Amino acid sequence: MIKPVPDSVLDQLKAALGDGGWSADPDRLAPKLVEWRDRWRGTTPLLALPTTTEQVAAVVRICAAAGVAITPQGGNTGLVGGQIPQGEILLSLERMRAIRDLDVFDDVIEVEAGAPLASVQQAAHDAGRFFPVSLASEGTASIGGLISTNAGGVGVLRYGTMRAQVLGLEAVLPNGEVWNGLRRLRKDNTGYDLKQLLIAAEGTLGVITAAALKLYPIMASRAVAFVGLRTPQAAIELLARAKGETGGGLEAFELISALGLELVCRNIPDQRLPIGGEHAWAVLLETASSEAGAAEAAVERLLAKALEDDLIQDAAVAQSEAQAHAFWALRENQSAAQKPEGPCWKHDIAVPVSRIPAFLQRAGAAMQAVEPGVRIAAFGHVGDGNVHYDVLGAPGLAPEAHAALRDEAARRVYDIVAELDGSISAEHGLGIMKADEALRLKPAAEVEALRAIRAALDPGRIMNPRVLF
Amino acid sequence: MIKPVPDSVLDQLKAALGDGGWSADPDRLAPKLVEWRDRWRGTTPLLALPTTTEQVAAVVRICAAAGVAITPQGGNTGLVGGQIPQGEILLSLERMRAIRDLDVFDDVIEVEAGAPLASVQQAAHDAGRFFPVSLASEGTASIGGLISTNAGGVGVLRYGTMRAQVLGLEAVLPNGEVWNGLRRLRKDNTGYDLKQLLIAAEGTLGVITAAALKLYPIMASRAVAFVGLRTPQAAIELLARAKGETGGGLEAFELISALGLELVCRNIPDQRLPIGGEHAWAVLLETASSEAGAAEAAVERLLAKALEDDLIQDAAVAQSEAQAHAFWALRENQSAAQKPEGPCWKHDIAVPVSRIPAFLQRAGAAMQAVEPGVRIAAFGHVGDGNVHYDVLGAPGLAPEAHAALRDEAARRVYDIVAELDGSISAEHGLGIMKADEALRLKPAAEVEALRAIRAALDPGRIMNPRVLF
């Protein structure tokens, strides 16, 4: 817990924000002080609710002068605790959600940081364009939070993470200065790219107040297939073929284990598999093309050849949008389907695609060593090398006994990830949950450099001081 | 000119590098001490030629301890003087050009920084993959230099600049520590992304020794078209349509002025225009698809509709690879065709695509004000908002008189670029040529932050001290 914020600072903040620009009402604050899965709870003396970039700057200047810490919070959908204050001033941009501009020649949308992702997707759609970042919490997750955590989700395979969508940023730096970097250029080589530092900084290098984001054309054809196969190695071979066959048009390539499919069918209503037979693994793939019929044709060619070569066991191509949704539900319900099975060790990791089979093999053995009989429900964005490595308790084991082994299991998984040159946080960030493990596993030279950068830009360490290094 | 390097330091460097690992031979040094257009000449007491990352680290450690400056140089193809030493130790990685690995499942090539771009393109091709960065100097330009300047070239429209290709870096930081960040992950959210800082840092934040770069599938069909139209506004409307029609398959969209075409036909042998008639502007576009025939079909649809709507005046689609090359020659010979016309003011700028017409209009008026009768030979990667805004002297004006107005003209162009939220260096970097202008035009808050980062990572300012801020 940090030291209490002096009343004089609170008074200055209230004056700068004006009536309606702040709250200390426990009911108003309550939903912002608990992580949505209730893993972290926090406190704050004041919720700042600015409506302009200048007000954000005033808040940061006041806090910087007084050495008072700030926790910026977006839609409070984070999974690693980075958004929950422990006595810091809580800063929310929920009243800054304007779409400032959209230009179809620049293929750019300029939006304030408090806007929810879904509003950007909708604005793009209304203009005949596509914004490709998509994830389960898109109705709530804010643009500022998504940039600050470099969000992933579906669509990364073709379009990249949030980082790849950012053309420019407006931000308040830790000294309270407004940086207008709201460029909308595809090329700009005039020194270090400051925006790249703010992306994924989890609020430690400033407060993002607005962003210029890329837009894309809407595709004319789309195909979704569900494939049964024997091994993860077969899946990555199919992935390589699919990338070649679709020429970069592959939008999703998701791996699901047989256990994951079994749990979905058991625990979620109205789910059924599109193919019969016994398959140790399944792949859900989606591809899109600007050419009418081309997506379907590419998938048909890919699957016919893969069946002929015995690379896959069976496959179904969705014949309607409803069927495509039903295929996707099998993937999207993976987490929900685990819930009735008791506590689950969860790991959001990435390894090089070629090393996914080795990771699954080694991690599986390690998990059995930690707890004999564990049930591995791995799934994820395998096209990105990103596995959600979820592990359920051994049948019959008390839930508390499984939960008690969580940290030991995580350490074993992360050690294997590190040996395979992977990442212990593919898309969720470090927050306060994984910072220590990252510190243990990252090269010392890198941590030293990142700490020097942070100290240079925020010498008082006022910005989200408990997260990262 | 910096202070002379002490003999004791030179002795330490020679010992660390061993026989053949350094040179002070004037003949060996000569080609590295002059910029290829002879705009900058330099001096160095020693050329370091390491063969391993450890040797690079030893050089940096020795220099850091003694406060001696280093200028890293790639293929010496830079255009802004950043690679020419003025008394610094000159560091070349020309003996570090191994391709360390290539993996078709990871779609990654891991290569040492001294490797020329062409060798990476070739290795990718041999493995059935494509590396998309391509530029005129690709036989000489090194991977380390291309990353350090975030090189552009053709292909940016679809694949992005060099930055977008870098998955991981190995580098020696200014304190002489080796940072192994050679990851090959598509997702990794574990703190600030240090590699993003080293990209485009022009050698000021360390020495890149190796990189992991993305590979892509080879396309099955390709179409090249040459289009005559009336205005830049028509060109950007055609661009928007082309992006939609090809669904991201558009690989190049280049604008050329009528004067530029006239000069090519006059000054370069064997050039002829694919279409007749009078056109104030021309567009060269290329699109590719993984679907056989799809690229050609998309271009035919695009052009037929644009003709019908009177958006364009005339168009030709290349019917063979030879014809496609002939079309491209008209674009690639733009610079060469200017040479016989005398000195040329050159500006490598970018503005938002939607503001290209406004830029051309305002810059044209400004240039006429600086020198009545100037001839504007603008061309460039208009799909990226990048214009090579080249200006030839008024007919009959003495070459020296035109050259004398270069700086005034540049300042006027850059002011207009700044007013339009553009970049004064789209793809060439700042080096020593444009640093002062960037300093004048960049937001003060940004320059302050960039300087703080540099001082934090290189407190002795030993890495390429004269470039950037």
* Smallest Cα distance from A309 to chain B, Å: 18
Query: For residue A57, which residues of chain B lie inside 8 Å, CB to CB?
Result: none
Architecture of domain A99-217: 2-Layer Sandwich (3.30)
Architecture of domain A7-92: 2-Layer Sandwich (3.30)
Query: What digits encode the pLDDT tens for the residues B90-107?
Result: 999 999 999 999 999 999
Interface A-B: count of C-beta contacts within 8 A = 294
Residue found under tokens 């910005």: A463
Q: Cβ(A39)–Cβ(A428) under 8 Å?
A: no
Q: Which residue in A247, A424, A468 is closest to B290 by CB distance?
A: A247
Alpha helices of A309-398 — where are they, by DSSP H?
Answer: 321-332, 334-338, 356-370
Distance CA A211, CA A370 (A): 45
Count Cα neighbours of B374 within 13 Å in the Cβ-side half-sphere.
27
A342-441: same fold as A7-92?
no
* Smallest Cα distance from A266 to chain B, Å: 32
Q: Which residue in A291, A384, A386 is closest to B298 by CB distance?
A: A291
Distance CA B196, CA B183 (A): 13
Q: Is the dihedral of CA A197, A198, A200, A206 positive or negative?
A: positive
Q: How confident is residue B263, by pLDDT bands cut at 50, 70 and 90?
A: very high
Residue B329's pLDDT is 96
Query: For residue A156, which residues of chain B lie inside 8 Å, CB to CB?
Result: 186-187
Q: Cβ(B2)–Cβ(B87) under 8 Å?
A: yes
Q: What is the mean pLDDT of residues B407-432?
A: 96
Q: Which residue of B has its CA nearest to A245?
A: B290
What's the distance, Cα to Cα, between the start and end of chain A in Å? 17
Query: For residue B203, which residues of chain A lie inside 8 Å, CB to CB?
Result: none
Mutate to test the interface with A, among B185, B190, B218 (most CBs of A within 10 A): B190
Residue found under tokens 């230009």: A103
* Smallest Cα distance from B469 to chain A, Å: 8
Residue A1's pLDDT is 56
Distance CA B2, CA B415 (A): 32
Is B350 in Cβ contact with A188 (below 8 Å)? Answer: yes
Q: Which residue in A108, A187, A219 is closest to B152 by CB distance?
A: A187
Architecture of domain A221-336: 2-Layer Sandwich (3.30)
Is A425 in Cβ contact with B190 (below 8 Å)? Answer: yes
Query: What digits encode the pLDDT tens for the residues A380-400?
Result: 899 999 999 999 999 999 999
Weakly modelled stretches of chain A, pLDDT under 70: 1
Query: For residue A463, which residues of chain B lie inside 8 Å, CB to CB?
Result: none
User: Rg (Cα) of chain A, in Å, rounded?
Assistant: 23
Q: Which CATH number fits domain B342-430: 3.30.390.30, 3.30.70.2740, 3.20.20.70, 1.20.1070.10?
A: 3.30.70.2740
Q: Cβ(A149)–Cβ(A428) under 8 Å?
A: yes
Angle, helices B232-246 vs B294-308, to 10°: value is 140
pLDDT at B1 over 60: no
* Smallest Cα distance from B95 to chain A, Å: 25
C-beta atoms surrounding B459 within 10 Å: 12
pLDDT at B27 over 70: yes
Q: Which residue of B has its CA nearest to A197?
A: B192
CATH 3.30.70.2740 for domain A342-441:
yes
Q: Which residue in B179, B201, B205 is closest to A445 by CB distance?
A: B179
Is B247 in Cβ contact with A220 (below 8 Å)? Answer: yes
Query: What digits encode the pLDDT tens for the residues B362-384?
Result: 999 999 999 999 999 999 899 99
Q: What is the mean pLDDT of residues B118-137?
A: 96
Could you tell me how many residues make up chain A?
Answer: 469
In order of A18, A377, A458, B453, the CA distances from A175 in angstroms are 22, 46, 7, 14
The domain spans of chain A are 7-92, 99-217, 221-336, 342-441
State ipTM. Answer: 0.96
Residues 6+ apart with CB under 8 A from B306: B227, B238, B241, B312, B315
Is B290 in Cβ contact with A244 (below 8 Å)? Answer: yes
Distance CA A357, CA A342 (A): 27
Is B290 in Cβ contact with A298 (below 8 Å)? Answer: yes
Q: What is the mean pLDDT of residues B348-360?
A: 98
SS3 annotation, chain B: CCCCCCHHHHHHHHHHHCCCCEECCHHHHHHHCECCCCCCECECCCEECCCCHHHHHHHHHHHHHHCCCEEEECCCCCCCCCCCCECCEEEECCCCCCEEEEECCCCEEEEECCCEHHHHHHHHHHCCEECCCECCCCCCCEHHHHHHCCCCCECHHHHCCHHHHEEEEEEECCCCCEEEECCCCCCCCCCCCHHHHHCCCCCCCCEEEEEEEECEECCCEEEEEEEEECCHHHHHHHHHHHHHHHCCCEEEEEEEEHHHHHHHHHHCCCCCCCCCCCCCEEEEEEEEECCCCHHHHHHHHHHHHHHHCCCCCEEEECCCHHHHHHHHHHHHCHHHHHHHHCCEECCEEECCHHHHHHHHHHHHHHHHHHCCCCEECCEECHHHCEEECCEECCCCCCHHHHHHCHHHHHHHHHHHHHHCCCECCCCCCCCCCCHHHHHHHCCHHHHHHHHHHHHHHCCCCCECCCCCC
Strands lying side by side in the sheet with A281-289:
A314-317, A221-229, A281-289, A250-257, A379-380, A386-388, A348-350
* Smallest Cα distance from A450 to chain B, Å: 7
Q: Which residue in B200, B294, B384 is closest to A192 by CB distance?
A: B200
pLDDT at B341 over 90: yes
Residue A248's pLDDT is 84
Could you tell me how many residues make up chain B?
Answer: 469
3-class state of residue A303 by DSSP: helix
Strands lying side by side in the sheet with B70-73:
B22-23, B47-48, B89-92, B70-73
Is A103 in Cβ contact with B354 (below 8 Å)? Answer: yes
Is A245 in Cβ contact with B443 (below 8 Å)? Answer: no
Q: Which residue of B has its CA nearest to A167?
A: B352
Is A163 in Cβ contact with B354 (below 8 Å)? Answer: no
Distance CA A359, CA A353 (A): 10
Distance CA A98, CA A101 (A): 9
Distance CA B1, CA B87 (A): 6
Alpha helices of A185-247 — where are they, by DSSP H?
Answer: 194-198, 232-246
Query: For residue B218, which residues of chain A lie inside 8 Å, CB to CB?
Result: 244
Q: Which residue of B has its CA nearest to A220?
A: B247
Is B425 in Cβ contact with A189 (below 8 Å)? Answer: yes
Is B173 in Cβ contact with A423 (below 8 Å)? Answer: no
Long-range contact pairs involving A454-457 (C-beta distance under 8 Å, separation at least 24): A454/A204, A454/A205, A454/B192, A455/B456, A456/B452, A456/B453, A456/B455, A456/B456, A457/A173, A457/A174, A457/A205, A457/A206, A457/B449, A457/B452, A457/B453
Q: Cβ(B417)–Cβ(B389) under 8 Å?
A: no
3-class state of residue A53 by DSSP: helix
Query: What digits encode the pLDDT tens for the residues B198-227?
Result: 999 999 999 999 999 999 999 999 999 999
Bridge partners for A380 per DSSP? A255
Average pLDDT, chain B: 96
Q: Cβ(B281)–Cβ(B231) under 8 Å?
A: yes
Q: Which residue in B188, B243, B455 is closest to A217 by CB distance?
A: B243
C-beta atoms surrounding B270 within 10 Å: 7
Is B186 in Cβ contact with A156 (below 8 Å)? Answer: yes
Q: Which residue in B163, B217, B455 is closest to A248 by CB distance?
A: B217
Q: Which residue in B205, B423, B442 is closest to A187 by CB distance?
A: B423
Is B190 in Cβ contact with A430 (below 8 Å)? Answer: yes
* Smallest Cα distance from B87 to chain A, Å: 23
Q: Which residue of B has its CA nearest to A448?
A: B457
Query: For residue A455, which residues of chain B lie inside 8 Å, CB to CB?
Result: 456
In order of A293, B55, B114, the CA distances from B145 in angstroms are 43, 19, 8
SS3 annotation, A119-151: HHHHHHHHCCEECCCECCCCCCCEHHHHHHCCC
C-beta atoms surrounding A4 within 10 Å: 11
Q: Which residue of B has its CA nearest to A244?
A: B217
Bridge partners for A213 per DSSP? A109, A166
CA B275 to chain centre: 30
Is B430 in Cβ contact with A191 (below 8 Å)? Answer: yes
C-beta atoms surrounding A266 within 10 Å: 11
Burial class of residue A292 (count of CB atoms within 10 Å of its CB; 0-12, 13-18, 19+): exposed
Q: Which residue in A104, A237, A298 is closest to B291 by CB distance?
A: A298
Residue A330's pLDDT is 97
